[in-house]
Chain A
């Protein structure tokens, strides 16, 4: 076996207190202790050398849990602390602070992850307990070798980058601007406003969406501290909190403010394509504006559709349109980043509830476009107000799906989460339709009515009062949308109504509206660029839903709106404001703290071979010519440890991850 003294011995560090280790094992309210025998883990840790105290607690991250750690540090004069709990991305900082409050250097703390890496992934209780115990004892052995380190402080670049120009991004930018912060807002489409611009009227205030949005856009556009870049895509990101360097590519718009009569240019354009803004309900030109009053108030050219025929240029006398415009690249410096990349409405699969097969099956988003007076049908539905039309709303399309019942998505998974907004949105639309078509018959096919928000339940109530018929279907037997055999109706919905004891019913309809779910906008490139944590539902994952709800684990990156999960506008705006204040708080600190895991050279051992110079990604190591040694520049070193791995004589060591500390873990993990 191994010689344990070897790992823990050899050499001494002056000024380091002898190890007196305290081990704290968290139940996490059952999240851990339901699988792992936490008592046994603590007992086994107690048998490790230098361990003077062990305990378990229901929630170590809670105030009493932290207070206990502080108290025990003082009581037992602990000099090293090991906490076994959730992932360090979540609470390492919490416990480091607690340790510091008790007067101990925060880097004398070691965090063990026995939740994400043990209790949540290992089913066998015995194996899970054994693994947790191994990890904790390994951490104890490592903790024995920890030395106090000082946080490094670096100045923060006093500017924020907001990615996404929808309502959340606009809100975050405005809030930051109002606090006196410099902001750059980038939007990858050519126009601001995001998904909210496509809505006609919004709950719970029954206001028209676009005038509401315009107020916000106006504030942002006029703000002296905010720079707006549309058609801008992030291509690369470097740096860390305090100084993110984001390289962006700005698409050529092809049009500038000198174009005074955009209408003429648009009319002259012979090329057409499907309008994504109208969810394919209409067609648009290659040079286009999605709606009157959009921002920027000038058209953009869709280069995929444009053939550069030059007719638009001719129509406006050549002023303001440049068909040879080139995209450009620039690098933005910012101290913090807010992600407000939003969502996409769930696009039903071909044939899902008749979508794409029956023309009278549309999505709720399409209905909104049709009801919009500025929309493709100028607010008209294909019926007049006197016909007794039959309209159906089908809830939970692309939401709350069940594996094995619903067809999987291209990624192989089903959308099993609740999209949270569609019940209220469907009720809101049903009420509006009842008002507009007093003779209509509206049926709502739902699983559970989740009109959960303030002022939302009222729509359900109104809909009931106005005679909307409710049919509750079982998610295990979703309704079937078929062709009517008599040919009288465009579609029929067949289902079993749970409200009448599963009675099979058949509802013929003139129009079926699918209340579709919410999926995150595809930002896979940003996800890898910023190493964002992503939940099982593919939405970005905050550090903690309650304690740090708008922060990503990557320091300095914040979340605003639907990139984090389905939200209505109200919630997205609150999240955006929260993210903005978090970001502003960080910027106004003036500096950020960085982990001190930097490299240093043992001058006695260094042979001056310069291997480290060649591997450092930051050119942080130089050769001291006079003495023939390598020297690490502390200001430039970011603490990756690549040099430490490369040094053939182990002369470079990384603070917090030196060879002996890592080996101390290996020793115990394999000593079993």
Chain B
């Protein structure tokens, strides 16, 4: 089978619903994902704006994936992994630890406010912390408002404007 044959996913037409922040959270499976489970088993409540994508280790979280998320319309991105020293793969999170602050700088150069990109360690037992983090990040992203990065970049002529054509200007 050629994957090129795959049918495109239908694009939902935007509804007239009021704007809600869309946040993507990349979580490593061993600590942070289990920490998020812990928030669930403890029946802690948090807003529905954060969608979790599971990877095996926070080391897998390619900055490129984060850029993709912003480029596709995310208003915020969270990256969570095991605390330093607890990574299931010894030191995958050491790479995360060095990558994320760098990325954060780069994002700011691209006009993405620091509030939109949060990087935290969440252990398997820290359901509390995870729930709090989701509340906090949702709130701070709400404060800075809609990102609409593709549109912004296009308008400001940052980067390669031609490449951005397919996404269109959402302004």
Q: Interface residues, chain A, CB within 8 Å of chain B?
A: 1-5, 7-13, 16-19, 47-50, 87-89, 113, 115-118, 120-124, 127-128, 130-131, 134-135, 137-138, 141, 144-145, 238, 240, 524, 527-529, 531-536, 541, 553-554, 595, 597, 615, 617-618, 638-642, 644-646, 650, 654, 657, 659, 662-663, 665-672
Enumerate chain B residues within 8 angstroms of A668, measured Cβ to Cβ. 9
Enumerate chain A residues within 8 angstroms of B54, measured Cβ to Cβ. 88
Enumerate chain A residues within 8 angstroms of B4, measured Cβ to Cβ. 5, 9-12
Q: When the two chains form their complex, are residues B45 and A640 in contact, meaning their CB atoms are under 8 A apart?
A: no
Given contacts A5-B8, A534-B38, contact A666 B68 (CB under 8 A): yes
- Cα of A650 to Cα of B68 in the assembled complex, Å: 14
Given contacts A87-B37, A128-B48, contact A534 B9 (CB under 8 A): no
State the Cβ distance, A430 to closest chain B Cβ, in Å.
36
Enumerate chain A residues within 8 angstroms of B16, measured Cβ to Cβ. none
Q: When the two chains form their complex, are residues B59 and A529 in contact, meaning their CB atoms are under 8 A apart?
A: no
29 contacts between A and B (CB under 8 A): A1-B168, A2-B167, A3-B166, A11-B3, A12-B4, A16-B1, A18-B5, A48-B9, A48-B10, A87-B40, A115-B40, A117-B40, A531-B31, A531-B124, A533-B34, A597-B56, A615-B59, A617-B94, A640-B59, A641-B60, A642-B57, A642-B89, A642-B92, A650-B64, A659-B62, A659-B64, A666-B53, A670-B74, A671-B11
- Cα of A20 to Cα of B117 in the assembled complex, Å: 36
Q: Interface residues, chain B, CB within 8 Å of chain A?
A: 1-12, 22, 24, 30-31, 33-34, 36-48, 51-57, 59-65, 68-69, 72-74, 82-83, 85-92, 94-95, 99, 123-125, 127, 131, 166-168
CB contact between A642 and one of B8, B86, B95 (< 8 Å): that residue: B95
Q: When the two chains form their complex, are residues A644 and B124 in contact, meaning their CB atoms are under 8 A apart?
A: no
Query: What 6 additional pairs, Cβ within 8 angstroms, besides A2-B72, A640-B60?
Result: A12-B4, A50-B7, A89-B37, A122-B45, A130-B48, A554-B30
State the Cβ distance, B37 to closest chain A Cβ, in Å.
4
- Cα of A660 to Cα of B62 in the assembled complex, Å: 12
Q: When the two chains form their complex, are residues B46 and A121 in contact, meaning their CB atoms are under 8 A apart?
A: yes
Q: When the two chains form their complex, are residues B55 and A641 in contact, meaning their CB atoms are under 8 A apart?
A: yes
State the Cβ distance, A360 to closest chain B Cβ, in Å.
39
- Pair count A-B, CB < 8 A: 233
Given contacts A9-B3, A10-B4, contact A113 B95 (CB under 8 A): no
CB contact between B86 and one of A144, A529, A597, A641 (< 8 Å): that residue: A529
Given contacts A8-B3, A536-B41, A642-B57, contact A667 B31 (CB under 8 A): no
Q: When the two chains form their complex, are residues B124 and A138 in contact, meaning their CB atoms are under 8 A apart?
A: no
State the Cβ distance, B21 to closest chain A Cβ, in Å.
12
State the Cβ distance, B119 to closest chain A Cβ, in Å.
14
State the Cβ distance, A559 to closest chain B Cβ, in Å.
14
Enumerate chain B residues within 8 angstroms of A134, measured Cβ to Cβ. 51
- Cα of A451 to Cα of B119 in the assembled complex, Å: 49
Enumerate chain A residues within 8 angstroms of B3, measured Cβ to Cβ. 8-13, 145
Enumerate chain A residues within 8 angstroms of B37, measured Cβ to Cβ. 87, 89, 113, 116-117, 533
State the Cβ distance, B55 to closest chain A Cβ, in Å.
6
CB contact between A1 and one of B11, B39, B40, B90 (< 8 Å): that residue: B11
Enumerate chain A residues within 8 angstroms of B53, measured Cβ to Cβ. 138, 662, 665-666, 669
Q: When the two chains form their complex, are residues B89 and A640 in contact, meaning their CB atoms are under 8 A apart?
A: yes
- Cα of A4 to Cα of B30 in the assembled complex, Å: 30
State the Cβ distance, B15 to closest chain A Cβ, in Å.
9
Q: When the two chains form their complex, are residues A4 and B88 in contact, meaning their CB atoms are under 8 A apart?
A: no
Enumerate chain A residues within 8 angstroms of B24, measured Cβ to Cβ. 666, 669-670
- Cα of A308 to Cα of B123 in the assembled complex, Å: 41
Q: When the two chains form their complex, are residues A528 and B86 in contact, meaning their CB atoms are under 8 A apart?
A: yes
Q: When the two chains form their complex, are residues A639 and B11 in contact, meaning their CB atoms are under 8 A apart?
A: no
- Cα of A13 to Cα of B53 in the assembled complex, Å: 24
CB contact between B51 and one of A131, A639, A640, A659 (< 8 Å): that residue: A131
- Cα of A141 to Cα of B10 in the assembled complex, Å: 11
Enumerate chain B residues within 8 angstroms of A128, measured Cβ to Cβ. 48
- Cα of A117 to Cα of B33 in the assembled complex, Å: 9
Given contacts A10-B3, A668-B9, contact A527 B45 (CB under 8 A): no
State the Cβ distance, B120 to closest chain A Cβ, in Å.
15
Q: When the two chains form their complex, are residues B89 and A123 in contact, meaning their CB atoms are under 8 A apart?
A: no
State the Cβ distance, B28 to closest chain A Cβ, in Å.
9
Enumerate chain B residues within 8 angstroms of A238, measured Cβ to Cβ. 90
CB contact between A617 and one of B1, B55, B92 (< 8 Å): that residue: B92
Enumerate chain A residues within 8 angstroms of B38, measured Cβ to Cβ. 533-534, 541
CB contact between A667 and one of B9, B34, B44 (< 8 Å): that residue: B9
- Cα of A659 to Cα of B45 in the assembled complex, Å: 32
Enumerate chain B residues within 8 angstroms of A118, measured Cβ to Cβ. 48
Q: When the two chains form their complex, are residues B1 and A116 in contact, meaning their CB atoms are under 8 A apart?
A: no
CB contact between B12 and one of A141, A145, A671 (< 8 Å): that residue: A671
Q: When the two chains form their complex, are residues B9 and A120 in contact, meaning their CB atoms are under 8 A apart?
A: no
By beta carbon, the residue of chain B nearest A524 is B125
Enumerate chain A residues within 8 angstroms of B65, measured Cβ to Cβ. 645, 659, 662-663, 666
